[in-house]
Structure 1
């Protein structure tokens, strides 16, 4: 299927991801469980069970899996246009997605349907897991909110979730430290070149920070998250509409009045 694991397209906490084909033409991504992975068979089975039940336009679908003794692999549909991370960074000749598009993607992702669940088996990449899990060994709806908040911080900052070369290695620590300076320009993805509404940026950032609160009861619900993100989009669209209708001189005067004071 992978031609002896010829093309590696990514790597996560589970292991390497290779390009492959099935039925001679359908492209797939094959995620192989590495021997050094912190995940084991229980986590592998939990991910299979989850992906068989969850279907969403912003999530790759599970095509199949391999479960042969020590050989474990998950087979996903292939995303030829790249993943979100590649579109945030503009790698491979891709355009960097703008702020309004990022808010739209976040809103669509927040609309994932499904029943509230409580699980005792975890699966996923390190850094996205609810810290309360380590005390309770249980995951619930607010655990999903935490993981979503981590993704939202990635979309806002274009920073990796874990970076050992960074003084504050985890993204929540890095954002928390940067927030104390009160300058949102140092937090927002520099690839955006300042092209965003400051009010919507602050609102999205504050929302993400509330989602990753260490105490789950202090986090918003996903319904509240959706409302806040839609308000951010309204604010950003208003700025874009005003910019397109105004002359350069008027735009400069308007923008200077809407930049919030440092918090």
Structure 2
């Protein structure tokens, strides 16, 4: 499985430098556009943070932004939120991982994704904050990987699965509530 990212920033990508208006017909894929900007037609950096949060959820869950169901289509945030509240991380994480992930890492990844998708843009972090959290989590996970390697006598298997390789390890408010 290979992730492909598209449509980020397309709503402004082709704007001329001297344009004095904001497009009211933004380009983008439904499911990735944040609700506030979708309603107003005004996009900013926090709009991209929302889209990134949706991509994180896709990576965590293995599901698309819009989940097609016989009764009705469901947005991934609407699908994942009640499961977060129930505390069932096993039902959130991509089943193709077959349970081979660290619970705290999965909760932290979910926390980061949730921080990116509030309806109000002002409640979202800057992308630099998201990046810093992801880097910090990766460093912690890598050090935990070395600890596990020593505990098993140096026999540590490597994985080609990017979610496992870069799983995140920090306590989170959401995870703490769910646990």
TM-score greater than 0.5 by the shorter chain? yes
Distance 1:120 1:215, change over 3 A: same
Count, aligned residues: 147
Q: Distance in 2 between matches of 1:203 and 1:210?
A: 11
| Alignment partner, residue 127 of structure 1 | 31
Q: Give 2:113's match in structure 1, choosing from 197, 208, 222.
A: 208
Q: Give 2:86's match in structure 1, choosing from 181, 190, 193.
A: 181
Q: CA RMSD in A?
A: 3.2
Q: Give 2:147's match in structure 1, choosing from 239, 242, 247.
A: 242
Contact kept? 1:210, 1:220, Cα under 8 Å? yes
| Alignment partner, residue 129 of structure 2 | 224
Return the offset for 1:121.
4.2
Note the alpha carbon deviations across 1:130-181, whole angstroms, 9 max, x for none.
Answer: 1002332211111010001000100111111112317771100011011111
| Alignment partner, residue 10 of structure 1 | none
TM-score by length of 2: 0.69
Return the offset for 1:120.
4.3
- Greater C-alpha Rg: 1
Q: Give 1:153's match in structure 2, choosing from 35, 46, 57.
A: 57
Distance 1:191 1:124, change over 3 A: same
Q: Distance in 2 between matches of 1:49 and 1:238?
A: 40
| Alignment partner, residue 66 of structure 2 | 162
Note the alpha carbon deviations across 1:205-249, whole angstroms, 9 max, x for none.
Answer: 11101101111100000010001111221232123222221139x
SS of the residue corresponding to residue 65 of structure 2 reads coil
Q: Distance in 2 between matches of 1:245 and 1:173?
A: 41
SS of the residue corresponding to residue 57 of structure 2 reads helix
Q: Distance in 1 between matches of 2:136 and 2:100?
A: 18
Note the alpha carbon deviations across 1:163-205, whole angstroms, 9 max, x for none.
Answer: 2317771100011011111121211112122333322221111
Q: Any residues of structure 2 matched to 1:8-47 within 5 Å, and which?
A: 47=10
Q: Point out where structure 1 has 5 or more consecutive residues left out of the alignment.
A: 1-13, 15-45, 53-117, 249-257
| Alignment partner, residue 50 of structure 1 | 13
TM-score by length of 1: 0.49
Distance 1:197 1:50, change over 3 A: same
Distance 1:123 1:192, change over 3 A: same
Return the offset for 1:48.
9.4
Q: Give 2:41's match in structure 1, choosing from 126, 137, 143.
A: 137
Q: Distance in 2 between matches of 1:161 and 1:150?
A: 6
Q: Any residues of structure 2 matched to 1:58-97 within 5 Å, and which?
A: none
Q: Distance in 2 between matches of 1:49 and 1:143?
A: 12
| Alignment partner, residue 4 of structure 2 | none
Contact kept? 1:119, 1:139, Cα under 8 Å? no
